């Protein structure tokens, strides 16, 4: 049997650059660069708003930075794919020269992702410790959030030991917060793991049975914001809803007084 052995290509001498190839190269490299630079001048909230809560102020730049990193990596990778597809396409049928164990490239594509992950981790750890830090001064308000299958209990100790608002899947509860005043939350669970999640405030913290979690934050703008459980916790998990109602400090005092009067 006569088999045709693959031919190993010798390195080709570089072709002189034409005007057309220079133009194509300029477009291929310039468009992603332009896209990147214009994106930097005004980065959108990418689904989140600035300043709604004290957590947004810390989390939003992290969220935007992670997306910019992903964009740069994505554009660079797509550029490499397009570059090799367009500028290294051989027109003849011969089998190309095969390269194995190119140590410098293998080291490079191991180290670069490691550096990216390490930088993202460092910023995440820094911001997480800022978000979970306790206020040096005494906070003005305390609210306890208890996860139950399948709703929420909000306790307002300022209004007395029995000031507990319990929701149901049919009647989701309302969590009142005073605008601009820091609230210390205590988070716990009566049964399984739940996730206390206020998407607009970029807040998610777990309610764990047998463990008490703490989080302090300030709500900055008046209004109603949807909240939900984001840990699959059983049959009616999807109905474990609540509303965060940010009111003026005076309205919050009225609400606390109404809870006191109801006992
Ligand atoms: Cu749940």
Is the distance from CB of 197 to CB of 222 less than 8 angstroms? no
Q: How far is the CA of 176 from the centre of ligand 1 (A)?
A: 20
Q: How far is the CA of 149 from the centre of ligand 1 (A)?
A: 6
Q: How far, in Å, CA of 153 to CA of 163, rounded?
A: 10
**For 70-105, what is each residue's pLDDT tens digit?**
999 999 999 999 998 888 777 777 777 788 888 998
- The token pair that represents 183 in the structure block: 């609230």
Q: How far is the CA of 148 from the centre of ligand 1 (A)?
A: 7
Q: How far is the CA of 87 from the centre of ligand 1 (A)?
A: 54
Which pLDDT score is estimated for 18? 58
Q: How far, in Å, CA of 261 to CA of 163, rounded?
A: 10
Above pLDDT 90, what percent of the chain? 68
Q: How far is the CA of 194 from the centre of ligand 1 (A)?
A: 4
Sheet (strand 194-198) strand order = 174-178, 241-247, 223-229, 194-198, 203-207
Q: How far is the CA of 208 from the centre of ligand 1 (A)?
A: 10
* List of residues 6+ apart from 52 with CB closer than 8 A: 200, 201, 219, 220, 221, 225
Q: Domain boundaries in the chain?
A: 19-88+98-132, 141-262
Q: How far, in Å, CA of 235 to CA of 250, rounded?
A: 39
Q: How far is the CA of 227 from the centre of ligand 1 (A)?
A: 11
Is the distance from CB of 179 to CB of 249 less than 8 angstroms? yes
Q: How far is the CA of 233 from the centre of ligand 1 (A)?
A: 4
pLDDT band at 49 (very low <50, low <70, confident <90, very high): confident
Residues counted in the chain: 263
Mean pLDDT within 160-177: 95
Which pLDDT score is estimated for 76? 93
User: Residue 9 above 50 pLDDT?
Assistant: no
Q: How far is the CA of 24 from the centre of ligand 1 (A)?
A: 54
Mean pLDDT within 144-155: 97
- Tell me how far CA of residue 198 lies from CA of 11, 65, 259, 263, in angstroms: 59, 21, 24, 29
Which pLDDT score is estimated for 22? 54
Is the distance from CB of 146 to CB of 194 less than 8 angstroms? no
Q: How far is the CA of 82 from the centre of ligand 1 (A)?
A: 46
Mean pLDDT within 31-56: 70
**For 197-253, what is each residue's pLDDT tens digit?**
999 999 999 999 999 999 999 999 999 999 999 999 999 999 999 999 999 999 999
Neighbouring CB atoms inside 10 A of 92's CB total: 8
Q: How far is the CA of 234 from the centre of ligand 1 (A)?
A: 7
Which pLDDT score is estimated for 42? 61
Mean pLDDT of the chain: 86
Q: How far is the CA of 196 from the centre of ligand 1 (A)?
A: 8
Helical ranges in 42-167 per DSSP H: 54-87, 103-132
Q: Which residues surround ligand 1, an ion (CB under 5 A)?
A: 194, 229, 233, 240
Global pTM reads 0.76
pLDDT band at 36 (very low <50, low <70, confident <90, very high): low
In the block, residue with structure tokens 């500028």: 87
Pairing mode of beta strands 183-189, 141-148? parallel
Is the distance from CB of 175 to CB of 243 less than 8 angstroms? yes
Could you please state the CATH topology (level 3) that the domain comprising 141-262 is classified under: Immunoglobulin-like (2.60.40)
Q: How far is the CA of 21 from the centre of ligand 1 (A)?
A: 59
Mean pLDDT within 177-185: 96
């Amino acid at each position: 049997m006569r088999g045709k052995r693959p031919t190993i290509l010798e390195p080709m001498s570089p072709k002189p650059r034409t005007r057309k190839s220079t133009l194509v190269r300029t477009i291929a490299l310039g468009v992603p660069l332009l896209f990147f630079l214009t994106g930097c001048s005004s980065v959108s909230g990418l689904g989140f708003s600035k300043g709604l809560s004290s957590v947004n102020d810390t989390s939003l730049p992290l969220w935007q930075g992670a997306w910019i990193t992903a964009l740069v990596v994505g554009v660079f990778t797509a550029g490499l794919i397009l570059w090799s597809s367009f500028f290294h396409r051989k027109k003849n049928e011969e089998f190309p020269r095969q390269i194995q164990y190119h140590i410098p490239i293998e080291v490079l594509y191991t180290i670069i992702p490691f550096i990216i992950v390490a930088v993202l981790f460092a910023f995440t750890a820094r911001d997480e410790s800022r978000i979970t830090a306790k206020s040096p001064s005494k906070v003005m308000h305390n609210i306890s959030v208890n996860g139950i299958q399948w709703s929420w209990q909000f306790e307002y100790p300022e209004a007395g030991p029995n000031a507990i608002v319990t929701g149901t899947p049919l009647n989701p509860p309302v969590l009142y917060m005073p605008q601009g005043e820091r609230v210390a939350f205590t988070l716990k669970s009566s049964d399984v793991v739940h996730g206390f999640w206020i998407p607009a405030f970029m807040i998610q913290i777990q309610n764990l049975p047998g463990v008490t979690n703490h989080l302090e934050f300030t709500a900055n703008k008046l209004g109603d914001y949807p909240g939900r459980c984001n840990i699959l916790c059983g049959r009616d998990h999807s109905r474990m809803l609540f509303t965060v109602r940010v009111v003026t400090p005076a309205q919050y005092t009225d609400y606390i007084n109404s809870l006191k009067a109801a006992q």
